[in-house]
Amino acid sequence: LGDGGVYVDAQSATRQGDLITAQGAEGGERALVRARGYTLRANQVAYDLGTGVASAAGQAEIFSPNGDVAYASQLQTDAELQVGVAVDFATRLSNGSSLMAATAVRRGENANELNYAIFTPCPICDEKGNPKTPSISIQAEKVVQDEELRAILYRNAVFKVGGVPVLYLPFFSHPDPTVERASGLLVPIINYDDGRGVSVETPYLHVVSPSEDWLISPQFNGRVAPFLNLQWRRRFDDGTIVLRGGYTYERPFGDYDADGDGEADIPLETESRSYVLGWGRFDPDGPWRWGFTAERTSDKTLFDRYDISSPYQDNGLYFGDQRRLISQLYAERQTERSYVSVAAFSIQSLRVAQTNEDALGLNVFEDDDSLPVVAPLVDARWEPEEPMFGGRLRLRGSAVALFRDAYVGSPVLRPETIPATTLGAGGVDSRRISGQAEWRRIVTTRQGLRFEPFVDLRVDAYSIGDLPPALGLDDAT
């Protein structure tokens, strides 16, 4: 269509001067009017060719050139869509969030004002298309969507979880969900826990630069002290660093009463409780790259008590697995024919070793002293480019040193020397160096017979030290 052209698809259409009125079929297809890149569909559509004003009534939908869709029972807009009014307004944003209001007014090209509105980032329909109550929503007396500020502002906002009001704020704002990164409050996280009570987490994102930001996320709890979460992210020319942490000053909460007398079986002290989860990864020019992870927590159950999101992540050369935290420093060198890695790490375990069915707070956890400090762990592989004796040669070597503070066993030739109990015994340190050479060749005869001669050699050297004196054994190599 040209700039002044109008396309009409309807059951019937009439024209009086510049006013075109299109009527859809009763109980059937709605009328459709397309002009200036916009499409308007409703039971009845009127369009003024002179002024460009369009109005619609009955199941109205308006599609903008960028793909946005708005719904209303009645609406009217000017030629440039800078001013308009809608009744029973609803729209779905590009990220799946929904915004609905009793009435909506567009004031100028950058501001939308909604009265008695509801915003939700959650689905409002089930898999069968039936309406359902969103898990989280914000209801407000007035909502202003400022497209220039790229923010949504609320007046008299009520936060709901499952349709139940849990928090009231006279004023509230957050970035438009279509914004990839902008400073401001993010959508709050609201939940309930038997230990913390009603919990509201209000994340605030502070964008320092295109390559750096902070996420400050205090968690306010109904029954215990607040918990402050922080996250810092920075992207460099050749790598990235992400650091997370949290802090509170509170005593443990949960079931510590195994005998049922109403009193905790162990002292529950109020003290500082915190965690840190960080990683960095750098890949400068050349064959070398390096990185680190730093993962520690003051309490074995801190992540569970305060619902810390995604604490167990694979961000380094080695992964601590579920309910184990790993702090490591590593470097790698890789070429087409060789690979070398050098690493050192320690592990903190949050795994339950023995469950107390009477009081889960008294569970016994895996002893960190039984887990080794690994320093170093070296792995190397090399394959010559030229064939060796007509075949392919591969060389591999590795070395590792393990240090433990608690005894978990050791290789002995006389098991009868192990005492009945090793509780409290010091850990056994061990070291190993291994080398391996593998040569293979494929030979095919003229008769079609195929031979694969090979040679595989491996050498290992072990050293064991710091054996418990109770074993009556000397250090061995």
pLDDT in tens, 80-121: 656 789 999 988 776 678 889 999 998 777 788 999 999 888
Below-70 pLDDT ranges, the chain: 1-5, 79-82, 94-95, 177-178, 257, 259-262, 265, 409-425, 468-477
How many domains does the structure of the chain reveal? 2
Looking at 47, 79, 111, the residue that finishes a domain is 79
| CA–CA dist 59, 25 (Å, integer) | 13
Provide the sign of the torsion angle of the four alpha carbons 306, 310, 314, 319, taken in this order: positive
Whether the CB-CB separation of 340 and 379 falls below 8 Å is answered with: yes
CA 23 to chain centre: 49
Residue 1 corresponds to which tokens in the numbers above? 């269509």
Of 134, 166, 187, the residue that ends a domain is 187
List the beta strands (DSSP E) in 355-453.
364-365, 373-382, 392-403, 429-440, 443-444, 450-451
pLDDT of residue 24: 85
- Give the structural domain span for 105: 82-187
- Domain-located, residue 211: no
Q: Which of 53, 79, 105 is the last residue of a domain?
A: 79
- In this structure, the answer to whether residues 74 and 95 fall within a common structural domain is no
Quick one: 102 and 183 in the same domain? Answer: yes
Spatial CB neighbours of 386, under 8 Å, sequence gap ≥ 6: none
**Assigned domain for 417 exists:** no
167 found inside a domain? yes
Domain co-membership, 74 together with 164: no
DSSP string, 7-34: EEE-SEEEEETTEEEEEPPTTSPPEEEE
- pLDDT at site 414: 58
Residue 68: what pLDDT?
Answer: 75
Please state, in angstroms and as integers, the Cα–Cα distance from residue 466 to each residue in 375, 404, 423, 425, following that order: 16, 9, 16, 11
237-262 burial code (b ≥16 CB/10 A, e <16)? eeebbbebbbebebebbbebbbeeee
Q: Which contiguous run of DSSP H or E holds residue 303?
A: helix 302-305
Assess if residue 89 is contained within a domain: yes
Residue 93 and residue 69 in one domain: no
pLDDT of residue 322: 84
Question: Which residue pairs from 162-165 have beta carbons closer than 8 angstroms and sit at least 24 positions apart in sequence?
Answer: 162/133, 162/135, 163/133, 163/134, 163/137
Q: Would residue 111 count as lying in a domain?
A: yes
Q: Is residue 143 part of a domain?
A: yes
- What six digits make up the tokens of 216? 């400050």
| pLDDT tens digits for range 422-449 | 666 677 888 999 999 999 999 988 888 9
Domain assignment present for residue 404? The answer is no
Q: What CATH number is given to the structural domain containing 28?
A: 2.60.450.10
Full-model pTM: 0.68
- Judge if 101 and 177 occupy the same domain: yes
Q: For residue 309, is it within any domain?
A: no
